[in-house]
A and B are shown apart, each in its own frame.
Chain A
Amino acid sequence: MRRIVIVSDNPFLSRAVSLSLAGLGAEVCCVASRGEWLRICERGAVDLLIVLRAAGFLAREREVERLRRAVGNPRLYILTWHHSERIVLALLEQGADQCMTFPVNLARLRRKVAEELTGVYE
């Protein structure tokens, strides 16, 4: 079964995103901290990582690369409240596969995730 991990310290946001991804045939886990998320990744391969804040990636250099090395190269979506074009570009240049800004369209996010999962496994 495909695995999606949602990382956010805001339970409302992670719940809303996880509910919008229900029925895609994937196991969706919500975690609040980096430690928890690394523990989940150690238990088995993760196909998609959705991070609902960009602060960690902006504070440290080459964070995406480091993360990919640590958890086995999952696809990475970052959803952020930063609307600055420069920040979005910086996140994409760091290696994020998709970067969206809040407010997001949950139907669009679901479609993108579905396409991503199909693309990976076809």
Chain B
Amino acid sequence: MSKLWLTLFVLLPGSCLVMGGVLALRWLIRRRRSRRQRLTMIYLRTLLLRCDGKGRARFPFVDRPGADRALAEAIAGLRRMTYGCDAAVLRSVVRSYDLEEKLLRRLRRPGADRPRLLALLAALPLSSRMTVRLEPYARSRSRAVRFYALLARLAADPGEALTLLREYPDPFSRFECAELLALMCRGGLPLACDTLLRASEENLRRVGLCMARHFGIDSVRGLVLGLASDERVGCEALETLCDLHLALPDRWAGSGPLSAEERRSLLRRAAYEGYALRAVEHLLYGEERIAFERLAATYKSAALWT
């Protein structure tokens, strides 16, 4: 009997209260997010008007909480998807609404989503003094924070790109290289491919290879061939040769630094890029030859059908 009382008068209302609280919290978060998205859209319109030189259109509700982040997201979104917008206009908006300082304050709050905020900062036209102010985040324990701090510092002072990339402690992952390339596409990383490939640091060579692959720079063929025997970036150098449709070196056949997994990935890439069996057969081991034939046939039949 007492158990029934306990269930009816304590546990049931208690769980209802908890569930109600959770639902209310979720509703509040969603409401705040949708309000911020609406503000971002309004600010986007104002920014486009300003970039078109149509007067000094005003940003409404800019004193509301969360408006600074909405404005920063509008500027960052515009910079990510377009080029040719007047950089001076965007820089003056960032300066006049003190977005750098406001975002730094957000970054310092406990529980802040630091990688996301740093990525947002990296897409803004920042002043060069931000390189120093963001330095503590470059020593963070979280890899994501360290990387996005690097991106933001690169965006703040592109002239120091080589030094900053050299100082970065972790080897870049493919995702991180893609982020760096996105920054490069926006003109935020003025680096030459051959300078990167000639560098002694692994990270710089990795970014250089990524750049050659992405932009199809085949004038650096000799340098990429030289890197094919490199213990650290050899596999990526071979992938780059495949992507650029260049002849593959004999080094691939040796036991070398490549694991079985890397060899399989390279075979797949060579087949996808349309290398014929004759072009790569000197590099293949017994069973790999059959696997390559099968892969090449698959990709070629797909090519015939499209």
Contacts and interface: CB of A to CB of B under 8 A. Distances in A.
A103 B83 contact: yes
Contact of A108 (B45, B78, B81, B84): B84
Nearest to B85: A106
A105 B82 contact: yes
B186 interface: yes
Interface in A106-120: 106-108
Interface residues of A, number: 18
Interface stretch (B36-44, B132-140, B222-230): B36-44
Nearest to A93: B306
B175 interface: no
A16 B83 CA distance: 13
B269 to A, nearest CB: 13
B306 A16 contact: no
Nearest to A83: B214
Interface string B185-220: 110000000000000000000000000001010000
B173 to A, nearest CB: 19
A121 interface: no
Interface in A5-30: 11-13, 15-16, 19-20
B80 A16 contact: no
Contacts of B44: 12, 15-16, 19
Contact of A11 (B37, B80, B81): B37
Contact of B83 (A12, A61, A104): A104
B88 to A, nearest CB: 16
A19 B306 CA distance: 36
A105 B79 CA distance: 11
B5 interface: no
A108 B83 CA distance: 10
Interface in B26-65: 37, 40-41, 44-45, 48
How many chain B residues sit at the interface, stated as a range, is 20 to 34
Given A11-B41, A85-B216, A105 B83 contact: yes
A58 to B, nearest CB: 10
Nearest to A13: B81
B55 to A, nearest CB: 15
B79 to A, nearest CB: 8
A90 interface: yes
A102 B81 contact: yes
Nearest to B186: A103
A26 to B, nearest CB: 17
A74 B266 CA distance: 41
B81 A16 contact: yes
A117 to B, nearest CB: 19
Contacts of A83: 185, 214
Interface in B9-37: 37
Contact of B78 (A11, A16, A107): A16
15 contacts: A11-B37, A12-B44, A13-B81, A15-B41, A16-B77, A83-B185, A90-B306, A103-B185, A103-B186, A104-B82, A105-B82, A106-B48, A106-B82, A106-B84, A108-B84
Given A13-B81, A16-B82, A103-B80, 7 more contacts: A12-B77, A16-B48, A19-B44, A19-B48, A85-B216, A90-B306, A104-B82
Interface of B: 37, 40-41, 44-45, 48, 77-78, 80-85, 185-186, 214, 216, 305-306
